[in-house]
Structure 1
């Protein structure tokens, strides 16, 4: 049986009136966190997520950057590296890929107008790059390792993530770590494969960061909205719910774990 990560940040909850307030608040906090991390450490690594709230945060970042206040709080984008928590193994440019949605929402504009180097965008492999999820996971592990500090992060060969953003599915999954799947039990590595994601959630073949990788992030921020997520959110805070049933229960950062919820998602807490 899987156990929740010990000696990590106990989850806090921030509850917002609606999705708009949630995404704009997280966007503002993300900008200031990346800026302070760059100022303190010389660089910042962030792992993005897909889904409505996750992409909504990126759209809100774009709106913030268009304002005078947002431009003042923005980091030096040349020192920011973009990663992903998971990805569908599809051809490049497919609309179902998280990286494509992120590019359209924010990243292309950061490259064109704000100085983000294209080489700082570390997309997970496409189906043209990798024949299967196992090969894709190995390729992404090598990318992460190439940017890892000496000794890695929390013992893993990956860069220190200032923030790992996570969405939460109605079934309680995070990244492509689905209930009762073998990927939940992968330890000692940052990336693994999933070739049988639930049919109702789209393409079955995925590459995903592991629990160990999530636990190596300084801050883990979950962004969750809507009535359809309320039951999963409630179970994630229930001591008796096993991680195998609700993987998001095991979302933990080193220094901070925050569930950002709209009122609908928080309605059963």
Structure 2
């Protein structure tokens, strides 16, 4: 199964840090700065969140920075939060990315910093949709309601979705991003913002998922990965070495933004990168 990537995306840059804390703090600082600067010229700013240990740690680092009060923060009333993927589980389930993100940051922004609850756009729960295909269609409709006129240019035509200032991504040990897993049919979906996955690898938890597609990833102005730990070293090296013409075996090789792609990697995850 060959997957053609968008040749108009930004080639990845790699930034290496001491440990997970350094990775997540660096991303958190940049994220606040990018959102603040975006709102100097735009009325809204959209960000796509990710789950996983490093992804949630980034949100905790944002919470810490905001709580200290010694850094510039965006007007939270104008910031919208989305997700790159989600498990089709009941609302409030501890395994949902939404639940973890609310605990790490979002509930505090709502309670103490003026973030409107309606600016949080979670993917459907199992109460909302019985099957990932239905969940994907629901989320595509939610994205469409914030699309600019004419849509957003993508590699296979315009997509009806907002422009993300940043899409945060984690990378699994198998090289997956969002819920785009090696060898799955979801890797071939083009011209759509979302798709369903009903057979995620058993070792990675619940099999039913909703995910944004590669085309959606490529519309984001910036794609930033957070990759930490020695268990990610092989995946990072493979993704950054992969033939960009075929990434069916290492989906993370297709983690590319429209204007900027940065891999934030700690020393443990970077141990095999010298082979690049």
TM-score by length of 1: 0.98
Q: Does 1:143 align with 2:142?
A: yes
Cα distance, 1:240 vs structure 2: 4.1
Which residue of structure 2 aligns with residue 197 of structure 1?
A: 200
Unpaired segments of 5 or more residues in structure 2? Answer: none
Does the CA contact (< 8 Å) of 1:156 and 1:188 recur in 2?
yes
Does the CA contact (< 8 Å) of 1:4 and 1:249 recur in 2?
no
Q: Using the alignment, how far apart are the partners of 1:239 and 1:186 within structure 2?
A: 20
Deviations 1:42-99 (A, max 9, x none): 21000000000000000000000011323xx110000000000000000000000000
Secondary structure in structure 2 of the residue aligned to 1:41: coil
Which residue of structure 2 aligns with residue 261 of structure 1?
A: 265
Q: Does 1:211 align with 2:214?
A: yes
RMSD in angstroms over aligned alpha carbons? 0.9
Unpaired segments of 5 or more residues in structure 1? Answer: none
Which residue of structure 2 aligns with residue 16 of structure 1?
A: 17
Does the CA contact (< 8 Å) of 2:242 and 2:250 recur in 1?
no
Q: Using the alignment, how far apart are the partners of 2:79 and 2:224 within structure 1?
A: 18
Deviations 1:155-208 (A, max 9, x none): 100000000000000000000000000000000000000000000000000000
Secondary structure in structure 2 of the residue aligned to 1:229: helix
Does the CA contact (< 8 Å) of 2:242 and 2:253 recur in 1?
no
TM-score by length of 2: 0.95
Q: Does 1:169 align with 2:168?
A: no
Secondary structure in structure 2 of the residue aligned to 1:163: strand
Cα distance, 1:239 vs structure 2: 3.9
Q: Give every structure 1 segment of 4 or more consecutive aligned residues whose post-TM-superposition deviation is greater than 2 Å.
A: 239-242
Q: Does 1:183 align with 2:224?
A: no
Secondary structure in structure 2 of the residue aligned to 1:259: strand
Cα distance, 1:3 vs structure 2: 2.5
